[in-house]
Amino acid sequence: MGEREQEFVKEAFETNWIAPVGPHLEAFEQEFCQVTGASYAAAVSSGTAALHLALKLIGIGYGDEVICSTLTFAASANPITYLGAKPVFIDSDRTSWNMNPDLLREALEQRDRIGKLPKAVVLVHLYGQCADIDPIMKVCDQYGIPLIEDAAEALGATYKGRTPGTFGKFGIYSFNGNKIITTSGGGMLVCDDRELIAKAKFLATQARDPAPYYQHSEIGYNYRLSNVLAGIGRGQLLVLNDRVAARRRNYEVYSSALGKLPGVAFMPEASYGNCTRWLTCLTIDPEIFGADTEQIRIALAKQQIETRPVWKPLHLQPVFAECECVGGEVAEDLFARGLCLPSGSNLTDADLERVIDAILSVYSPSKSS
Ligand SMILES: *Cc1c(COP(=O)(O)O)cnc(C)c1O
């Protein structure tokens, strides 16, 4: 937390706005728009809820296909299935680790030929790095397919100077406890269309018709963020730049200590933007490094240092076993050889040094010769 969150929460208590409405909620949405350049925003209970609403507002329904990045967290695809639709996964490219625009174009061309275009594309900006949005938007526009940007990990990043999440039809963000900024749990949906955001708020509050009694003509959800948590969010927005700087600094320290080590490569930073380095991720070439990522993970765990493999691609998940994937080898390779290092914005120099020393102690290039 920064310095102001508690004040905002106290204000909510003192004014007794302990509800999913109140002045903090509207202020948080407005301030979020100022920070990101989004036109309209709806604060909701999670990033997953925001994505569910975006898909619902586009009109995704039973049997539809929705394209999604394969290298991501399950929450990027789960809401597709909430609506009875089917995800179709697309592999990453090596330069950004994000959706490969050429594979997306191939997938759309092929589906266009058989007259079965997907109803939406969910584009993930992984680990705080933007996907190459322009070519992806271009091919989506060409086929009239709405783009949803999953910027849950990328608040504070830039793509050609602008905030990811503000390019597509909808953008979603997460304020879960592990994200760049947090409200303990929460999310934001953004869009250029005032009516659609109004509709999102309507659906997020149980879809009550304007009547003095409770009347419903549509199925709604209980997805609104509470006024108390929005207060935390207002405080967190004030420290967003600091949090991004702290995460980028983790990366700088790690990469200057380990980046030249044979067999080690950090996630590349694409030239078109600024990555938040939400997590610092690297890949290991086990032949050269003398240990694989699992051996490194276990060695570090013995010293109470938690690392995790890069996201297991969704097309390899048991729950999505029946879904199609276009390509997949790049994401599979990044999963096999990728490791996420401790990356919190509160890590001290001593913490970073301890992680670096632990990794250096596993490094054993002679074993491979
Ligand atoms: C965290 C995350 C989500 C979901 O956000 P929640 O607020 O936890 O529901 C969606 N997509 C990605 C890529 C995420 O990292």
Predicted local distance difference test score (pLDDT) of residue 367: 55
Residue 366: what pLDDT? 73
Distance 295 CA to ligand 1 centre (A): 28
Q: CA–CA separation, 92 vs 131, rounded Å?
A: 9
The domains of the chain are located at 5-240, 241-368
44 CA to middle of ligand 1, Å? 13
Task: Report d(CA 273, CA 159) in Å as an integer.
Answer: 4
Contact 288, 360 (CB under 8 A): no
> What residue ranges in the chain does DSSP mark as E strands?
40-44, 65-69, 86-90, 120-124, 147-150, 158-159, 170-174, 187-191, 264-266, 273-274, 281-284, 308-309, 325-326, 338-340
Measure the CA–CA gap between 231 and 125, rounded to whole angstroms: 26
- How remote is the CA of residue 139 from the centroid of ligand 1, in Å? 25
pTM above 0.95, yes or no: yes
CATH class of 5-240: alpha beta
Task: Copy the structure tokens of residue 54.
Answer: 């975006």
CATH H-level superfamily of 241-368: Aspartate Aminotransferase, domain 1 (3.90.1150.10)
Helices (H) and strands (E) in the chain, counts: 13, 14
User: Residue 369's pLDDT is what?
Assistant: 47
* DSSP-assigned letters across all residues of 248-293: HHHHHHHHHHHTTSTTEEEPPPPTTEE---SS-EEEE-HHHHSS-H
Contact 165, 151 (CB under 8 A): yes
Encode the chain (369 residues) as per-residue pLDDT tens digits: 999 999 999 999 999 999 888 999 999 999 999 999 999 999 999 999 999 999 999 999 999 999 999 999 999 999 999 999 999 999 999 999 999 999 999 999 999 999 999 999 999 999 999 999 999 999 999 999 999 999 999 999 999 999 999 999 999 999 999 999 999 999 999 999 999 999 999 999 999 999 999 999 999 999 999 999 999 999 999 999 999 999 999 999 999 999 999 999 999 999 999 999 999 999 999 999 999 999 999 999 999 999 999 999 999 999 999 999 999 999 999 999 999 999 999 999 999 999 999 999 999 987 544
| CA 153 to ligand 1: nearest atom | 15
Would the CA dihedral through 130, 135, 141, 145 be positive or negative?
A: negative
Within a 10 A sphere around the Cβ of 131, how many other Cβ atoms? 31
- If you write DSSP's letter for every residue of 121-180 in order, what string do you get? EEEE-GGG----HHHHHHHHHHHT--EEEE-TT-TT-EETTB-TTSSSSEEEEE--TTSS
Q: How far is the centre of ligand 1, averaged over its atoms, from the C-alpha of 6 (Å)? A: 25
Which residue owns the Cα nearest ligand 1 atom 14? 152
| CA–CA distance, 244 with 137 (Å, rounded to integer) | 26
Ligand 1 centre distance from Cα of residue 151 (Å): 8
Question: Given the DSSP bridges, would you call strands 338-340 and 308-309 parallel, antiparallel or unpaired?
Answer: antiparallel
Ligand 1 shell residues, CB under 6 Å = 46-48, 72-73, 75-76, 124, 150, 152-153, 174, 176, 187
Atom of ligand 1 nearest to the CA of 76: 11
Provide the pLDDT for residue 19. Answer: 85
What is the position in ligand 1's atom list of the atom closest to the CA of 51? 10
**Which atom of ligand 1 has the smallest separation from the CA of 46?**
7
Query: For residue 17, what are its two tokens?
Result: 């706005």
- Atom in ligand 1 nearest the alpha carbon of residue 50: 9
CA dist., res. 112 & res. 337, Å (int)? 35
**DSSP-derived pairing of the beta strands 273-274 and 158-159:** antiparallel
Expressed in angstroms and rounded, the spacing between residue 186 Cα and the centre of ligand 1 is 10
Q: How far apart are CA 106 and CA 160, in angstroms?
A: 25
Q: Are 119 and 157 in contact (CB under 8 A)?
A: no
